[in-house]
Amino acid sequence: MTKHDRKEPLAPDMILERAAELILEIGATPELMVDRMLTYDAAQAVSLGGSKATGEAFRGMAGRIEEGLFAHLEPHARPRAPGGKLH
């Protein structure tokens, strides 16, 4: 079984989801929440692996996103839940 085969959420995923919920609960827009989480993640990645490796990783992820990694989450594919949740 790989990590992608799991049905139950992992603790880090649950923590990140709750953090996102808390940011939205204090009145931030979903766009601001995403911006802050990505900015934090990018800064952590740079501190661990440097700017070059982080840029490459982000470009790789961008490519996978464009190829349809999250196509099932597209606004036309799945409506946004009440309260601004993204899924």
Q: Is the pLDDT of residue 74 over 60?
A: yes
Q: Convert the chain into a string of H (helix), E (strand) and C (coil).
A: CCHHHCCCCCHHHHHHHHHHHHHHHCCCCHHHHHHHHHHHHHHHHHHHHHHHHHHHHHHHHHHHHHCCCCHHHCCCCCCCCHHHCCC
Query: What is the tens place of the pLDDT at every residue in 4-15?
Result: 566 677 999 999
Query: What's residue 34's pLDDT?
Result: 97
Q: Is the pLDDT of residue 61 over 60?
A: yes
Query: What's residue 9's pLDDT?
Result: 73
Query: What is the tens place of the pLDDT at every residue in 18-47?
Result: 999 999 999 999 999 999 999 999 999 999
Q: Is the pLDDT of residue 53 over 90?
A: yes
